[in-house]
Structure 1
Amino acid sequence: MASDRIDVHQHLIPPVYRQALDANGIAAAGGRDLPDWSPQSAREMMAGMGIASAVLSVSTPGTAFLGDRTEAARLARAVNDYSAELAAAAPQTFGFFATLPMPDVTAAAAEAARALDTLGADGVVLLGNARGVYLGEEGQDALFEVLDDRRAVAFVHPADLPGPVIPGVLPFAADFLLDTTRAAYLLVRNGIRERYPNIRFVLSHGGGFVPYASHRMALGIFTQTGRSPLDVLGEFAGFYFDTALSSSAAALPTLLTFAEPGHVLFGSDWPFAPEAAVQYFEAGLAEYPGCDDLTRQAIRRGNASALFPRFGAAPVAAPEPPLLTRLRRRARTRVFRAVAKAANRR
C-alpha cells in the first residue's frame, strides 16, 4: 500500500484535554467511549494504512462542555499549544486544526488569529453546534472575518444534537450527520458562504446529508430567502467533503457526482473509528467501480495537497470535460426552474 495519503479527519486527544474531560466526568463522545491515543499509536496506524500526513483535530465536545468562558478559552489555548508542538516536531507527518472556544465568538476569533498567525495551524475545527449554538447562526461575523482574511480552512465536525438522546440510537451513527447538515444549511442560508468566500469549509463524514438532500435544501432556502436555487446548490457543492466512514458503494455515487471536482478528501476518523473501520471504508473507495485510479489518487492525496501545500504537491484528477459540465448545468437549470415555478404558485 502506497504511503502517500493525506488524512484531513484524524483526531488527537492531548493529555491536558483528557484530564479536563476526566475532571468533568466525560468518558464518551457521540455514544463511543473515548479511545486511547498517543503520537506513537497514530504513527503506527498511519504506517499500516499508507497515510503519510494527517491534519489532527480535537473531536466533540471540544471545549463546549465547560460553562465558564475563561476556562474554555484556557483549555483551547493549551490544546493548541500541544498540537503546535507536535506538528513542529514532525511537520511532514502531523498538522493540526486549532480548537476554538465556541460559542464565545470574541474568544474564538482571538484564538483563531493566534493559532493561524503564531502557532502555524493548518486551519480551525468548528463543531456543528457548541452548547446548542449552531455554526452559521447570526452574530458570528467577527470569527468569519478572521478566517476569511487568512483564507483559512475550517473543518466542520459534528457534535451531539442539542436535545435528548433517543434510546437505542447512537449519536455518531445518525445524529452526527444531521448536526453537520444543519450547520451547512445555516452557512448557506445566512449568507456566510457568500460573504466570506475565502474560507474553505470542509464538511466531515461526506457532508452528512448534504449531497443526498442538497436539492431539497436548496428549495427550502429559496422559499425562505428568494435566492436562486441554482446559486444555493452551487454553494453546497462548493464545500469540501471528507470520506471518513463515508466511502461506501451507497454514498460514493452521490458524493462524487455532487461535489465540485477536487473537493473530496480522504479522512479516517481514527481513533474514534477503529482501524478495522478505517480499512473497511478504504476498501470501499478502492473497489468502487465508478472511480478511476486518477480520481482515487486525487481523493487520497492530490485534493488535500492543494489545500495544504506544505505536505508536498501531487497530481490532481483531471477536470470534468466541459461538454459534460454544460449538459449537467442545463439539466439542473431546467429542473430548478420548474421547481421554483411550482413553489411560487403555492
Structure 2
Amino acid sequence: MAPDGTVGLVDVHAHFVTDSYVRTAKEAGHTMPDGVPAWPSWSAAAHLEVMDRCGIDAAMLSISSPGVHFGDDASARRLAREVNEAGAEAVREHPGRFGLFASLPLPDVDGALEETAHAFDVLGADGVVLETNTHGTYLGDPALEPVWAELDRRGAVVFLHPTSPVCWERSALGRPRPMIEFVFDTARTVTDLLLAGALERHRNLKIIVPHCGGALPVLADRVDGFMRMFMPEGTQAPDAVAQLRRLYYDLAGPALPRQLPALLGLADPDRLLYGSDHVWTPAAGVEAHVAGLDAAPAPGGGDWRSLTTANARRILPRLAVHDLREAG
C-alpha cells in the first residue's frame, strides 16, 4: 500500500543501468543514447526513494534502449548475462520491491535461447524485455521464431521496448529519437508480428506494449484494412484489431490528456498497466505522471492504481502469490 493507504502501484516499465553497461555502450558508440544528451545513473536506493514518494510498491527492472547487442554475438551474450545477474541481485536484495525482465542477446537466436533458460530457470526472472529491432531485425523476422516458440512454451511475459530504427539518421532530423521514432518503431514491430502471424501462433504469451501503444491506437484500423487487402484470394484475414486487444499496454510517457483516451478506444481496461519509465524519466517527471493518473477517473468510476495493480497481479506470478512489499 502507498503511504496514504491507497493501493500501491506496480511499475512494469522501470529501468536500471550499471556502470559497466554504460561504459560498454559508450565504447560501442552510444555516447548520446538514441540522441538523448546523457546516460542516467542508477542505484537501488535512489530508485526506491522515488517509488516511496510516488506510492509505487514494486518495479520490474529492465535494460532500455539500445539493449545489449552492439554488433558482436559473443559480446552480446556476455553483456546480457552481466546485466541480468545485476538485475537479479537487486531483486534478491530487495525482494519486496523489485522484479526483473531479463535481456536477451537478439538477433543471436542460440544465445537468446541459452539466456532465456538461465533467466527463468536460474535467476527466476519475471519475464523478458525485447527491443523493437536489433540492427534492423524486427521481431516478426522468421529467424526469431525459435525464440518466440520457447517463450510461448513458458507462457512468458514479454515486455517490448522501443529503440531507434536503422534509418534514424534520416528520419529523426537530428532530434532525440524517443520523441517520435520510438512510438513508430513500437507500431512497426507489433505490425511485423501481426503480419508474420506470430501473435496468432503464440497465444500463451503476455506481451506488454509500452507508451500507451505508441502509434498503434490510431493505426490499428489502417493495419487491419491492409492485412485484409493483401490476403490470398479465398483466405479469411485474421482480425488485427482483435489480436491487438489481446495485448497489454503500459501507461508510461505523457498518457494524459490525449494518448490514454486513444488507447481506451483499442484496449479494454483490464489490459492496462502502470509504467513510469524511470530511471530515464527523472523523479520529478514520475511524480507528475503519477499525480496526473491519481487525479484522473478510471473506467467504471474506479482509480488507476487499483485497476492497473490488479491487472499486473494477474500476469506476474510473483505478484499473484505475494504482496511484494510484505514479502520484503
TM over 0.5: yes
Which of 296, 299, 314 is 1:306 aligned to?
314
Distance change >3 Å, CA 228–CA 214, structure 1 → 2: farther
The Cα shift of 1:30 comes to 2.5
Where does residue 239 of structure 2 map in the other structure?
A: 231
Contact kept, 8 Å, 1:7 with 1:55, in 2: the verdict is yes
- Give 5+ residue unaligned stretches, structure 2: 323-328
Q: How does 1:33-72 map to 2 (within 5 A)?
A: 33-65=38-70, 67-72=71-76
Where does residue 187 of structure 2 map in the other structure?
A: 181
Where does residue 284 of structure 1 map in the other structure?
A: 292
Distance change >3 Å, CA 120–CA 290, structure 1 → 2: closer
Question: Deviation string for 1:256-279 (max 9, x for gaps)?
Answer: 232134110000001111122223
SS, match of residue 262 in structure 1? helix
Where does residue 270 of structure 2 map in the other structure?
A: 262
Q: Distance in 2 between matches of 1:156 and 1:61?
A: 13
Q: Distance in 1 between matches of 2:298 and 2:85?
A: 42
Partner letter of residue 149 of structure 1?
R
2:159 matched to 1:155? yes
Distance change >3 Å, CA 54–CA 45, structure 1 → 2: same
- TM-score with structure 2 length normalisation? 0.90
2:273 matched to 1:250? no
Q: Distance in 2 between matches of 1:50 and 1:157?
A: 24
- TM-score with structure 1 length normalisation? 0.85
Q: Distance in 2 between matches of 1:286 and 1:229?
A: 40
2:35 matched to 1:31? yes
Q: Distance in 2 between matches of 1:93 and 1:75?
A: 24
- Which stretch shows the higher mean deviation, 295-304 or 192-201? 295-304
Q: Distance in 2 between matches of 1:195 and 1:230?
A: 12
Q: Distance in 1 between matches of 2:237 and 2:289?
A: 33
Partner letter of residue 274 of structure 1?
P
Which of 123, 130, 133 is 1:126 aligned to?
130
Question: Deviation string for 1:193-225 (max 9, x for gaps)?
Answer: 111110111001111111121111111221223
Q: Distance in 1 between matches of 2:23 and 2:7?
A: 33
SS, match of residue 36 in structure 1? coil
Partner letter of residue 210 of structure 2?
S
Q: Distance in 2 between matches of 1:93 and 1:113?
A: 24
Question: Deviation string for 1:53-87 (max 9, x for gaps)?
Answer: 0000000111122x211011111011111111211
Where does residue 115 of structure 1 map in the other structure?
A: 119
Q: Distance in 2 between matches of 1:103 and 1:256?
A: 33
2:168 matched to 1:164? yes
2:93 matched to 1:89? yes
Which of 210, 213, 228 is 1:207 aligned to?
213
2:198 matched to 1:192? yes
- Give 5+ residue unaligned stretches, structure 1: 315-346
Contact kept, 8 Å, 1:306 with 1:313, in 2: the verdict is no
Q: Distance in 2 between matches of 1:24 and 1:139?
A: 25
Q: Distance in 1 between matches of 2:146 and 2:89?
A: 27
Which structure is richer in relative contact order (CA contacts within 8 A, separation 6 or more)? 2
The Cα shift of 1:298 comes to 3.8
Distance change >3 Å, CA 205–CA 123, structure 1 → 2: same
Q: Distance in 1 between matches of 2:43 and 2:73?
A: 28
Matched residues, percent identical? 35
Q: Distance in 2 between matches of 1:294 and 1:167?
A: 42
The Cα shift of 1:138 comes to 1.5
The Cα shift of 1:15 comes to 2.9
Which of 138, 144, 147 is 1:143 aligned to?
147
The Cα shift of 1:7 comes to 0.2
SS, match of residue 258 in structure 1? coil
Contact kept, 8 Å, 2:61 with 2:100, in 1: the verdict is yes
Partner letter of residue 178 of structure 2?
F
Contact kept, 8 Å, 2:252 with 2:275, in 1: the verdict is yes
SS, match of residue 249 in structure 1? helix
Contact kept, 8 Å, 2:250 with 2:275, in 1: the verdict is yes
Where does residue 13 of structure 1 map in the other structure?
A: 17
Contact kept, 8 Å, 1:219 with 1:229, in 2: the verdict is no
Contact kept, 8 Å, 2:16 with 2:63, in 1: the verdict is yes
Question: Deviation string for 1:208-262 (max 9, x for gaps)?
Answer: 1111211111112212235756722100111100000042121111212321341
Q: CA RMSD in A?
A: 2.1
